[in-house]
Amino acid sequence: CRMSVENFVTQCFYNLSIEERIHYFESPHGARLRNVYRKFWGMMNLPFAVFGIILSSCFIITATNAIYRKKVSRKCYVLLLNRTIGDVITCSMSLLICLYILLAREIQLYYIIYLTKIIYVSRVYRSALRYVALSVIKLLAVARPFEYRICVTIKKSVHVVIISWVIFALMLSYILSALVKVPYLNELTNCTMETCIRFKHWSSNLLSVLLYFFTLSVFGITLILVKRERRYGDSFKSQRSIKKRRKTSRFPFWKLSLNVLSYALLNLFYIIWCIGQLVSTNHCFFLRNYIEFERIYAFVILSSLIRICIDPVVCFVTDVQVTQLHINLRFFSKKIT
């Protein structure tokens, strides 16, 4: 097995010929890089990608039935369903990477780059939009209940889903246009590592960091305002009516808090990675420390896959209606067979 590096377009190794660059990567340096890909990108992430697909698929089936039967808040669960579809895409791309690395005789780096960019564009931007939308929905539901019934509809939730996919397509096109390892794209853009790809990765990382903190800020403001409005509203109600409202809420705020907490903790590693890329001023630091960065990047992917595996489990554990519906669906399918 060898690793193809002929398509690297960079000035960081300007004093080396193409043959010398290939020898540099095919030497012990190249053997270490292949070992990192197989051990960390392949074997370590493979089980989490498989479990993520299975758990997310179960949640998609159950949530779709719950929305159809109106057992849950459709406005919120449409957004949750959209997130889970993105998670299935993320796990599928990660599974393809694992299988490609473990089975391919010759590892083409730009194939890996293609798939990893699809993973992170799918994960970061659409997850952030989903949590911002859910926080705003909960804020309107408590602070402005009459406006909430008029403004927030299932149709507008579907519009948010469509917008998230448009953002996904735009960001994917923006990032892939900078891939100098893909010969066809390189001929179109004439980009090098130090020009196009550095600027576009810098802007992408900056947007990821801003979206992360913006999402947490919106949730924090929503939490403060919701608590304030509920405290004021509860002062006019009896304890019985307060308990009844909390029991009948089909998407309670604590559930959103738990989801945002998992988002914040399991995306923190990726955000630290982005901040590290932003503060670095050495244009060639990434390439000259490529092996270590790829090892760290594998753990970034792992944190994303763990979050994807945890989210459906959290939903099944915390949502009685969805869990009961999932059990009924399994029992009914077994009874038919």
Instruction: Annotate 290-304 with DSSP letters as a single string.
Output: HHHHHHHHHHHHHHH
The 10s digit of each residue's pLDDT in 146-165 is 777 777 788 888 888 888 88
Work out the average pLDDT over 35-51: 89
Confidence at residue 287, expressed as pLDDT on a 0 to 100 scale = 65
CA angle 47, 286, 213 (to 5 degrees): 70
Which of 119-128, 146-155, 236-245 is the least confident region? 236-245
Taking the alpha carbons of 276, 281, 286, 288 in that order, is the dihedral positive or negative? negative
Between 293 and 50, the higher pLDDT residue: 50
What percentage of the chain exceeds 90 in pLDDT? 4
Residue 272 has pLDDT above 80, yes or no: yes
* CB 81 within 8 Å of CB 60: yes
**Which amino acid is present at 85?**
I
| DSSP letter assigned to residue 107 | E
Provide the mean pLDDT of the chain. 72
Of the candidates 145, 140, 29, 40, the one whose C-alpha atom is nearest the C-alpha of residue 98 is 40
- Provide the phi-psi class of 242: left if phi over 0, else alpha when psi is between -120 and 50, else beta: alpha
d(CA 208, CA 259): 18
Q: What is the pLDDT of residue 55?
A: 92
d(C-alpha 249, C-alpha 100), whole Å: 46
For the chain, count helices (H), then strands (E).
Answer: 15, 2
Instruction: Name the more confident of 103 and 52.
Output: 52
Q: How far apart are CA 235 and CA 285, in angstroms?
A: 59
- Is pLDDT larger for residue 234 or for residue 170? 170
At position 229, the amino acid (one-letter code) is E
Among 18-32, 35-49, 68-82, 206-220, top mean pLDDT goes to 35-49
51: tokens are 């479990």
Residue 243 scores a pLDDT above 60: no
Mean pLDDT (whole number) for 285-306: 80
Q: What is the reported pLDDT for 1?
A: 41
Closest CA to 181 of 5, 1, 3, 2: 5
pLDDT band at 5 (very low <50, low <70, confident <90, very high): very low
What tens digit of pLDDT does each residue of 22-41 get? 555 555 556 777 788 888 88
- Counting residues of the chain whose pLDDT is more than 70, the rounded percentage is 58
- For residue 276, pLDDT over 60 is answered with yes
pLDDT, one tens digit per residue, over 175-203 is 666 555 555 555 655 555 555 556 666 77
Domains of the chain: 2-336 (1.20.1070.10)
